[in-house]
């Protein structure tokens, strides 16, 4: 019987299988940021252990980084975390992309764009959205702080082998539908726990036709339905994206690497533990109405009602709607918004800014909206300026900010005030995620752009 893509990468990295226990898995790349790494480095220091293979570790601050200026972090906790990361990297000999330098950005944006993430790799980071890197054909998983210490000390990790799932999307996407909408649609169908315990491979004609940026967005959101990782088989789109990037193989090594990468696909006779298929034609631009990413609807639909729900479901839906200040059966299109956020490791890439600019070009931002447009890296910011997108944004009344996780989470100055409604391209709409008491509607860059112009939740197809 053939193997799935996941099994091929997993099997190639097995060091040993513990009887009646986990697998010792070799890790090719560890990413570290300022939030989950300090305790891991302290563990090594306490035990007198060095980093085993520092050349395979890359670190950068991103969660606490301000997007308005990067001379100083005013929050003392955030400042200490960023300073501690720099000190740990200097002490243990780890590559460190410091705040404000050309190499810095959100770790899950920088990794692929520098080709530090490559097909066939095992990649881990103390951050749930490490699944992003699966878009290049890598097995990429978020891990805990104690596991970060494991990898620093041994370049290995102990893991139980997940089950395998393939999600096929077939057909042609409608106008105004993006990879973000695909992800929100899948989560609504499967729920936020529907893929728990699985590594998900995304396949089908729709996936093959996605750009690399779109694939990164889709893989980024894999964790939001409970999956251990999301992965997409590398193909010509992958190779074209990676070729010539800073850390990509060069010359004969590139040809050798591509020859191997072409073998990284699921065999025709491989069997998945679970397989589902969706039609691209069924997917419309989407928004969320609740406090988890699976609580979403097509933008022209209405919020679910309590009809037909059991008591537990009624309590859950009522609690979500009470927090969001929405009503059962309400149509959200036309609802006033206070904040608009474009960015995050979900939608902070150049394609996202091109999409946003395509909607706002020649128009003006609503005076009632505060907008944060935050590139995912300094390279993305440079691309925005080189392509003249910054001028389009400026003419429409928007400010291009500095690379940061920004308003994705309330760990830096870009916090949404209590009670205010934000429409956001980020990955989570949990209670208080964008700020204590803040309300978040997740959407694509196109939906956020249309809403920023009108000042209300708006279907972007009206501008297309």
44-58: average pLDDT: 97
**353 and 249 within one domain:** no
Give the pLDDT band (50/70/90) at residue 193. very high
- Position 349 scores a pLDDT of 98
Mean model confidence pLDDT for the chain: 98
Give the pLDDT band (50/70/90) at residue 285. very high
Give the pLDDT band (50/70/90) at residue 15. very high
Can you tell me which residue has the tokens 């709607």? Answer: 321
Q: How many domains does the chain have?
A: 2
pLDDT tens digits, 199-249: 999 999 999 999 999 999 999 999 999 999 999 999 999 999 999 999 999
Domain that includes residue 250, residue range = 5-274
pLDDT tens digits, 400-456: 999 999 999 999 999 999 999 999 999 999 999 999 999 999 999 999 999 999 999
**450 and 390 within one domain:** yes
End of a domain among 274, 306, 340? 274
- Position 408 scores a pLDDT of 98
| Backbone region of residue 157 per phi and psi (left: phi > 0; alpha: psi in -120 to 50; beta: other values) | beta
User: How large is the greatest C-alpha to C-alpha distance in the chain, in angstroms?
Assistant: 64
Q: Return the CATH number at 26.
A: 3.30.499.10
Distance CA 96, CA 336 (A): 42
**227 and 298 within one domain:** no
322-348: average pLDDT: 98
Contacts of 452 (CB under 8 A, 6+ apart): 337, 340, 360, 365, 366, 369, 371, 398, 423
For the question of whether the overall pTM of this predicted structure is more than 0.95, the answer is yes
**298 and 270 within one domain:** no
**343 and 261 within one domain:** no
- Position 248 scores a pLDDT of 98
**Within-domain flag for 407:** yes
- Position 230 scores a pLDDT of 98
**230 and 379 within one domain:** no
Q: What is the DSSP pairing of strand 163-170 with strand 274-279?
A: parallel
Distance CA 431, CA 295 (A): 13
Give the pLDDT band (50/70/90) at residue 113. very high
**311 and 261 within one domain:** no
């Amino acid at each position: 019987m053939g193997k799935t893509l996941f099994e091929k990468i997993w099997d190639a990295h097995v060091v040993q299988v513990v009887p009646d226990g986990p697998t010792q898995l070799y890790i090719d790349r560890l990413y570290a940021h300022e939030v989950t790494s300090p305790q891991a480095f302290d563990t090594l220091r306490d035990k007198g252990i060095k980093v085993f293979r520092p050349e395979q570790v890359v670190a950068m601050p991103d969660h606490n980084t301000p997007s308005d200026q990067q001379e100083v972090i005013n929050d003392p906790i955030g400042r200490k975390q960023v300073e501690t990361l720099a000190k740990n990297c200097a002490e243990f000999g780890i590559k460190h992309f410091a705040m404000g330098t050309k190499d810095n950005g959100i770790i899950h944006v920088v990794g692929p764009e520098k080709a530090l993430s490559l097909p066939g790799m095992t990649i881990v980071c103390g951050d749930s959205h490490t699944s992003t890197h699966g878009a290049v054909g890598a097995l990429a998983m978020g891990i805990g702080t104690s596991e970060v210490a494991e990898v620093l000390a041994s370049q290995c990790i102990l893991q139980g082998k997940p089950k395998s799932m393939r999600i096929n999307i077939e057909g042609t996407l409608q106008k105004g539908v993006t990879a973000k909408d695909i992800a929100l649609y899948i989560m609504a169908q499967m729920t936020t726990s529907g893929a728990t315990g699985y590594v998900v491979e995304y396949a089908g004609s729709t996936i093959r036709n996605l750009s690399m940026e779109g694939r990164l967005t889709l893989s980024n959101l894999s964790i939001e339905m409970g999956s251990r990782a999301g992965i997409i088989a590398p193909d010509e789109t992958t190779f074209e994206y990676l070729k010539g990037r800073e850390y990509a193989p060069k010359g004969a090594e590139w040809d050798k690497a591509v020859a191997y990468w072409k073998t990284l696909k699921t065999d025709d006779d491989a069997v998945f533990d679970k397989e589902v298929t969706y039609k691209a034609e069924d997917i419309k631009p989407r928004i969320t109405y609740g406090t988890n990413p699976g609580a979403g609807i097509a933008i022209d639909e209405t919020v679910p009602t309590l009809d037909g729900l059991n008591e537990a479901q009624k309590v859950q839906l009522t609690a979500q709607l009470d927090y969001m200040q929405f009503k059962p059966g309400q149509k959200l299109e036309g609802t006033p918004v206070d904040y608009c956020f474009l960015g995050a490791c979900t939608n902070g890439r150049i394609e996202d800014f091109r999409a946003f600019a395509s909607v706002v070009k020649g128009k003006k931002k609503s005076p009632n909206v505060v907008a944060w447009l935050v590139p995912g890296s300094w390279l993305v910011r440079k691309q925005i300026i080189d392509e003249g997108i910054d001028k389009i944004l400026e003419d429409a009344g928007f400010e291009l900010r500095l690379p940061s996780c920004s308003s994705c989470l309330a760990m830096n100055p870009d916090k949404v005030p209590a009670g205010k409604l934000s429409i956001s391209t980020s990955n989570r709409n949990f209670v208080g995620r964008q700020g204590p008491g803040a309300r978040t509607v997740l959407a694509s860059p196109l939906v956020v752009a249309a809403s920023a112009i009108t000042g209300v939740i708006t279907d972007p197809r009206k501008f297309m």
